Chains A and B, each alone.
Chain A
Amino acid sequence: NAGVTQTPKFQVLKTGQSMTLQCAQDMNHNSMYWYRQDPGMGLRLIYYSASEGTTDKGEVPNGYNVSRLNKREFSLRLESAAPSQTSVYFCASSEALSSEAGTYEQYFGPGTRLTVT
């Protein structure tokens, strides 16, 4: 099992450029998440998807869009990158509470370091 994979690992963008961060999990989890991590701010939730076909805003959704392509994949898109979006981005997955089984812990990908100049 690969767990949660993210691509790319590093990316440099110019202001105004767009890009999509890809995330996939092979654990058959219903719930998937996108976070950004900035120094002194912890992990802030951007968007999450409690199940295939649903997405919901987190704490800092502005400037981002997501797509839950299928049960395995959850992508994050920056339509017009800004320097304020320079951050480390983490994707995570877990069983949904509705599954009534499991530990409900999150499994994280290795992160993507994004720099916007």
Chain B
Amino acid sequence: AQTVTQSQPEMSVQEAETVTLSCTYDTSESDYYLFWYKQPPSRQMILVIRQEAYKQQNATENRFSVNFQKAAKSFSLKISDSQLGDAAMYFCAYRRQDDKIIFGKGTRLHILP
């Protein structure tokens, strides 16, 4: 069964610094999709970044980038120049070929001014 593990329940980072959130997953598939979602206190789920497993290049979106290590089944999120608005829960998600999507338990990120 596929599982998604986020080993850091909470993290803190100083404003303007860089932080990396980790995610590992277990799968026997060779092609799949990975996502990071952000959930601020409003509870709304917001897509941060996506990665297609068959693409070797790491995805980037402005201050957000991933380190995708397919062999290690690792998909970490790096946030550069952290801002107060980045404070939120962050969820890693895995999408299987049958369209089932599994989430990790999340990492709560605190930004220290």
- Nearest CB to that of A33 among chain B residues? B101
What 0/1 readout, one digit per residue, does chain A (82-103) give for beta carbons within 8 Å of chain B? 0000001010101011000001
Name B99's contact: one of A41, A90, A96, A105 (CB within 8 Å). A96
Q: Give the interface size bracket for B toward A.
A: 20 to 34
Chain B residues within CB distance 8 Å of chain A? 6, 9, 33, 35, 37, 43-45, 47, 50, 91, 93, 95, 97-106
Are A106 and B91 also in contact (CB < 8 A) when A90-B45, A111-B43 are? no
Cross-chain contact A42 with B101 (CB below 8 angstroms) = no
Q: Which residues of B contact A94 (CB under 8 A)?
A: 99, 101
| Sample of 27 A–B contacts (CB below 8 Å) | A31-B99, A33-B101, A40-B9, A42-B91, A42-B104, A43-B103, A45-B101, A48-B99, A48-B100, A50-B100, A56-B98, A56-B100, A90-B45, A92-B45, A92-B101, A94-B101, A96-B99, A97-B99, A103-B50, A104-B33, A104-B50, A104-B95, A105-B47, A105-B50, A106-B37, A108-B45, A110-B44
A interface residue count range (under 10 / 10 to 19 / 20 to 34 / 35 or more) = 20 to 34
Q: At the interface, yes or no: A58 with Cβ under 8 Å from chain B? A: yes
Give the tally of cross-chain contacts (CB within 8 A).
58
Which residues of chain A from 20 to 38 have a CB within 8 Å of any chain B CB? 31, 33, 35
Minimal beta-carbon separation of A28 from chain B (angstroms): 15
Instruction: State the CA gap A75–B106 with chains docked (Å).
Output: 26
| Contact digits for A59-80, partner B, Cβ 8 Å, 1 yes 0 no | 1000000000000000000000
Could you tell me if B103 and A35 are in contact, using CB atoms closer than 8 angstroms?
yes
**Shortest distance from the beta carbon of B43 to any chain A beta carbon, whole Å:** 5
- Could you tell me the distance between the alpha carbons of A31 and B103 in the complex, rounded to whole angstroms? 16
